[in-house]
Structure 1
Amino acid sequence: MAKALIVFASLTGNTEECAEIVKEALENLGVDVEMVESMQAEPEDFLEVDMCIIGTYTYGNDANLPDEFVDFYEELNEIDLTGKVYGAFGSGDHFYDKFCQSVDDFADKLASIGAVKGAESVKVDLDANEEDRLNLEAFAKALVDKTAALSQ
């Protein structure tokens, strides 16, 4: 059985809601999923799973990483995720110029340490609507399909 870890940070609950949608979709596809808040996770935790998934919010005009995710992000440089599948999703506000920039930052970081992109990133404006829910479910399916293809 494939294993996935979703590490997330959520300020308003929107990203956590997205993480729950992804977790449920993955479980429905037969994946063993753990969901952990960023402050309780270590990058090394990704070494124990097949799918490395980040859920992050982006806030403010500077679009900096969430404070509670900075250490995790920087410590990713210390591990090698070659052969692992990654995906990134998150919430933001179209009011800001750099919509969901933290999602892109994490996707780039995971790719730079060897992980294989398993799905297009999903960016949600504020809270998830029905279309976002469908996109997050498709995101989960793409991750499972990519993981299966790599294990052949």
Structure 2
Amino acid sequence: MKDVLLVYASMSGNTEAIADLIEEGLKEEKVNVTKIDVIDCDPDMLNAFNAIVLGAYTWGDGELPDEFLDLYDEMATLDLSDKQFAVFGSGDTAYEIFCGAVDLLEAMVEERNGVVAQQGLKIELSPDGEEEECKEFGRQFAKTVNLKTSV
């Protein structure tokens, strides 16, 4: 059984609701999930897992929320080689840059030699009506992680 770290930032509860649904999908595939708010995430936790899901809402003009900035800055000092990531987030298409936080996190993972194992999940505001898509995102990541690590 694989272990996945799921780190998220949520202000209104939308991104946390997405994280809960992704967690359900992961667990359906028999994956152990450690879900944690980014404020409580020590950067060393990223070193302890080989499969990591990151989630953040987009703030302002396509930016990461303030509570994600410390971890993001710490990620710039880590070697994420041999680690597989999936990134998700919530945003608002009323802004010019939709879900820019997802793009920023994926770029950081790749810059630090991590593997973005699947296309990021971008949800308009809340997951209402997209619950199955969120669960499938978790299921697909679990399948990808299991395939990559099988002998």
Taking structure 2 as the reference length, the TM-score comes to 0.93
The number of equivalent residue pairs is: 150
Contact 1:85/1:146 (8 A) holds in 2:
no
Counterpart in the other structure of 1:111 = 110
Over the aligned positions, Cα root-mean-square deviation in angstroms equals 1.2
Q: Which residues of structure 1 form unaligned runs of 5+?
A: none
For residue 115 of structure 1, report the CA deviation from its aligned partner: 1.5
Which segment is superposed worse, 93-102 or 135-144? Answer: 135-144
Contact 1:2/1:50 (8 A) holds in 2:
no
1:89-118 CA-partner distances (Å, limit 9, x unpaired): 010111101010001100111121122122
Task: Tell me the distance in 2 between the aligned counterparts of 1:109 and 1:57.
Answer: 16
Contact 1:57/1:100 (8 A) holds in 2:
yes
Counterpart in the other structure of 1:68 = 67
Identity %: 30
Query: Which consecutive segments of 4 or more residues in structure 1 shift more than 3 A?
Result: none
Taking structure 1 as the reference length, the TM-score comes to 0.93
Map 1:118-129 → 2, pairs under 5 A: 118-129=117-128
1:6-58 CA-partner distances (Å, limit 9, x unpaired): 11100100000000001111011111101111111022202212311111001
Matched residue of 2:82: which SS?
A: coil
For residue 80 of structure 1, report the CA deviation from its aligned partner: 1.3
Task: Tell me the distance in 1 between the aligned counterparts of 2:43 and 2:111.
Answer: 14
Q: Which residues of structure 2 form unaligned runs of 5+?
A: none
Matched residue of 1:18: which SS?
A: helix
Counterpart in the other structure of 1:149 = 147
Matched residue of 1:124: which SS?
A: strand
Letter of the structure 1 residue corresponding to residue 11 of structure 2: L
Counterpart in the other structure of 1:35 = 35
Say yes or no: does 1:101 pair with 2:78. no
